[in-house]
Amino acid sequence: MLPRMRTPDDDLATLRAINKNLKSALVRFRPEQQHCSAIKPDELSDLRRAILQAGHCVRGISPQAPELKNESLEYRSNLEQLKQLLPDFQVRLLAEKSRLEVAKSHVAAAAAWAGGSTTTF
């Protein structure tokens, strides 16, 4: 069975869905969203996959499809905003990782103390 050819309508629907997902990601990645740990790794993988998929749609845009061209311009704008937010998001992720590593070492120290102090209890 041969794969179905993509149509401009398919590309338009795909870009609209990806733009919706990107806008949602832009809200979640903003610096005022302090809990970046609420964003799951699979969400980042899905976002990457969507960006790659949009790249395929954008490559084949015809000048005769103004709706598709407008959607691709919105996609580009969303990508530029995401590019601006990602460095800060990375810093917040690294800070969260550091905080978790400190908490983990405190738990390990407390467990070692509790294990060595069984006669106290």
The answer to whether 85 and 30 are in contact (CB under 8 A) is yes
Question: In this predicted structure, what is the pLDDT of residue 11?
Answer: 85
Work out the average pLDDT over 10-31: 89
| 18-22, 41-45, 88-92: which is most confident | 18-22
Residue type, 10: D
Total length of the chain: 121
Q: What is the pLDDT of residues 61-71, one digit of tens each?
A: 776 778 888 99
Cα–Cα dist 44/48, whole Å: 6
**Angle 12-14-15 from CA coordinates, rounded to 5°:** 65
In this prediction the pTM is: 0.75
58, 72 Cβ separation under 8 angstroms? yes
**Cα separation, 110 vs 45, whole angstroms:** 36
- pLDDT category at 3 given cuts 50, 70, 90 is low
